[in-house]
Amino acid sequence: MNQADQVLTPITQAINEGAITRRELRQLMSRSDKPALLRLALWLPLVFFTGYLIHLSIDTRWFIPAMFVHGIVLVHHFSLQHECVHYTAFKTRWLNDLVGNVCGLIIMLPNRFFRYEHCDHHTYTQRHGHDPEMIVLPASVKGYLWYLSSVPYWRAKISELYRHSIGHINNAEKKFIPKEERRTIVLEARLMALFYVCIGVYSVIQGWSAPLWYWLVPVVLGEPVMRAIRMTEHVGRPTVGDMKVNTRSNRVSMPWQFLCWNMNYHAEHHYASSVPFHALPLLSNKLGSHVYTENRGYVGAHIDMLAQIVGRKPRASAG
């Protein structure tokens, strides 16, 4: 490979090798409000249905399982928010901002902050010290289970919201948040914190327990599932800049594909992040072997990670 080839992006290489044409790529990048609105027409009834399961299970042994199922749906608002920060969920820009902020309130992820953080994740995927969303392959099974517990995640998120609320942005965050946007990030955090405080105070004064059982507890119960899914995207893949090897797609069943808004096609998404969620399956068909795909799905990805952790398989950290 000559020096000119080395600077080509993977999607450009795929184009040069005939896997996809530039015209086809442009067509796949076309945005529309309709696919996301149609999915929301199914998504919102699903949210209400799983919430209703909690209502039906009150004072029964199914109460916690029902909250867990509802929580799995709630934490998948991350997937929708992820599409919104890319401005690919909807063609209409303000719809992306509106829906993204609502999703952020549900899972405590400030939308504007996430947008800047996620931009650097795409720029520096799997590069130590540069990728702000990088999840390091745990050193032991104990560390693996500790991460899946979501305790480290919530500790970091609550600390992050508190810091931003009091106006403190750390040095790592200053790398990806433009100086002129830092006041906005602080204001965003303060408004989010104020929203939570108002809900909490009103609930205590009025004896209103619904937010606890239909929102907070389910989100906490469901977050380990989201942590497990997020791990399958990059953890255990080589910690190098080449997205042909540093990102993993997963073949999953239709229910999971629906919940994650097609983000199981994660390598394809990194290849062309401007392609909307609804076009990722078509992009996957075009790219084929150009992306790394785990055909055993999420379970297979975790088998791969655990094999590396216990030493049955060499770690991929060196590529």
Tens of pLDDT, residue by residue over 130-147, are: 999 999 999 999 999 999
Task: Indicate if the pLDDT at residue 205 is higher than 90.
Answer: yes
Reading phi first (left if > 0) and then psi (alpha if -120 to 50, else beta), residue 108 is in left
Share of the chain above pLDDT 70, in %: 97
pLDDT value of position 10:
85
What's the pTM?
0.94
Question: 20 phi and psi, to 5 degrees?
Answer: -155, 145
Task: Indicate if the pLDDT at residue 291 is higher than 60.
Answer: yes
Q: Where are the alpha helices (DSSP H) in 17-149?
A: 22-28, 34-57, 63-75, 77-85, 93-107, 111-123, 141-148
pLDDT value of position 6:
41
- Return d(Cα 260, Cα 253) in angstroms, integer: 11
Residue 227 token pair: 């942590």
Using an 8 Å Cβ cutoff, are 161 and 155 in contact? no
Lowest pLDDT segment from 13-22, 119-128, 187-196, 225-234: 13-22
Instruction: Of 115, 116, 137, give the one whose Cα is nearest residue 126.
Output: 137
Q: Give 68 or 319, the one with higher predicted confidence.
A: 68
Instruction: Give the model's confidence band at 7: pLDDT under 50 very low, under 70 low, under 90 confident, else very high.
Output: very low
Using an 8 Å Cβ cutoff, are 235 and 304 in contact? no
Q: In whole angstroms, how far apart are CA 27 and each of 21, 37, 111, 129, 276?
A: 10, 20, 28, 36, 11
